[in-house]
Amino acid sequence: MIVEHQSDLTLAVEQAMQATPDPRLREVMSAFVRHAHAFVREVRPTDAEFERGLGFLIALGHATGETTNEVVLAADVLGVSTLVDLLNNPLGDDVTATALLGPFWRLNAPACASGDCIARDNTPGEPLTVSGQVRDRAGRPIAGAKVDVWQASPVGLYENQDEGQPTMNLRGVFTADGDGRFALRTVRPAGYPVPTDGPVGDLLRAQRRHPYRPAHIHFMVTAPGYRTLVTQVFADDGEHLETDVTFSVVRSLVGRLASGPEGFRLAYDFVLEEGESRVPTPPIP
C-alpha cells in the first residue's frame, strides 16, 4: 500500500501479513502490530526517545546469557509474566492459585520422607514446620502426590547462588501419604532482590522502585491425572507483600505463619484440578 496518511499504516502492515499460513501467528502478529501502533500513537516518541527505547531492547538482549535473562526479568517487573500466568490459570475458589516457576527450580531435588528437614548441615535460621493436604476439587485426598519444595535461605539466597550452602540445600520432594498429607521441616526464608546489575535494574532505579520479592516458598505439586500446580506461598508477616516487584502476591497464596514454642508453623493445603501432569523445562540444568 502506498501511504497517504499515518493512519493508513496499521492497515498496510496487517495487509502485508495476511498471507501468513499459520493462523495463530497471523492472529498474534496482527494484534501485536495494532497494540504497538496504538502505543506509538499515544506517546508520540521523538526520534531520540524512539532510539532510546530500541536501545533498551537491544541492551536487554545483550545482557541475557546462560545465567541471566533480562528479557524475562523485564516481563516480570512489568507484570506481564504474572498476567500470562493468571490468564492461563484463572483464580478460583476451588483450585489453588498458581504463581511463576521462577529461575531457581531444579530438576531432581532429593526425595525426602515425611517430616524430613530440608535445611541441611544445620543451616542457621528460625525453625519452620510446613504441613498440609493435597486434595482434588471434590475434596478427596490425592494419595502419593509429589510435593516438590524449594526456597531461599534466611539471608535470601538459593543454594546455587551461595557457596556457603551444601548442594540441593532447602530443596526436597515429599510424597503425600494415603490421606494426601505431607509435612516438612525447614527454616524461614527471607525475601530477596531480583538482579539489579542490568538494564532492568536501571529501569527500577529510574522508577524509584525497590527490587524485592517478599519471602516465599516455592511448591510444585504433581500427581498422575492432575494438572501440575506451580505456585508460591508467601509469609503473611513478611516485608514487601504489598509491593512484590514481580506482582506475584495473590491473596489466597498468603499463608499464615503461627509461632509456637518449637518455631513457626505454616499449614497450607493444595487443591489440584484434573488435567495433564507435566514437568516444566528446568531453568537451571
Residues 154-213 that bind its own copies (CB under 8 A): 203, 206-209
- Give the nearest distance from C-beta 153 to its own copies in angstroms: 25
Is residue 57 involved in binding its own copies (CB under 8 A)? yes
Q: Which of 145, 249, 266, 272 binds its own copies (CB under 8 A)?
A: 249
- Range 118-137, binding its own copies (CB under 8 A): none
Tell me whether residue 82 or residue 153 sits nearer to its own copies (CB atom). Answer: 82
> What are the grid coordinates assigned to 166, written together?
551444601
How far apart are the C-alpha atoms of 110 and 115, rounded to whole Å? 14
- As a whole number of angstroms, the distance between CA 219 and CA 229 comes to 8
Q: Which of 19, 121, 124, 138 binds its own copies (CB under 8 A)?
A: 19
CA atoms within 13 A on the CB side of 179: 8
What is the DSSP pairing of strand 270-272 with strand 127-136? Answer: parallel
Contact 154, 162 (CB under 8 A): no
Closer to its own copies at the Cβ: 28 or 258? 28
Residue with cell 498468603: 254
CA-angle at 228, arms to 226 and 230, nearest 5°: 145
- Identify the residue among 124, 138, 251, 260 touching its own copies (CB under 8 A): 251
Binding mask 77-116 for its own copies (x = CB under 8 A): -xxxxxxx-xxx-xx-------------------------
Nearer to its own copies, 119 or 230 (CB): 230
Which residue of 23, 46, 66, 138 would you call a contact of its own copies, by CB under 8 A?
46
> Cell 489440584, residue?
272
Output the furthest CA–CA distance in the chain (Å, rounded). 77
The terminus-to-terminus CA distance of the chain in angstroms comes to: 49
Judged by CB under 8 A, the number of residues near its own copies is: 80
Our finding on whether 256 is near its own copies (CB under 8 A) is: no
Asked if residue 50 binds its own copies (CB under 8 A), the reply is: yes
**Pick from 278, 270, 254: nearest CA to 136:** 270
Binding of its own copies by 277 (CB under 8 A): no
Does 28 contact its own copies by CB under 8 A?
yes
Please tell me the distance from the alpha carbon of residue 20 to that of residue 26, in angstroms, as a whole number.
6
Nearer Cβ to its own copies (14/116): 14
Nearer to its own copies, 176 or 250 (CB): 250
Taking CB under 8 A as the criterion, the residue among 156, 162, 247, 263 binding its own copies is 247
- Left if phi > 0, otherwise alpha if psi is -120 to 50, otherwise beta: which for 115? left
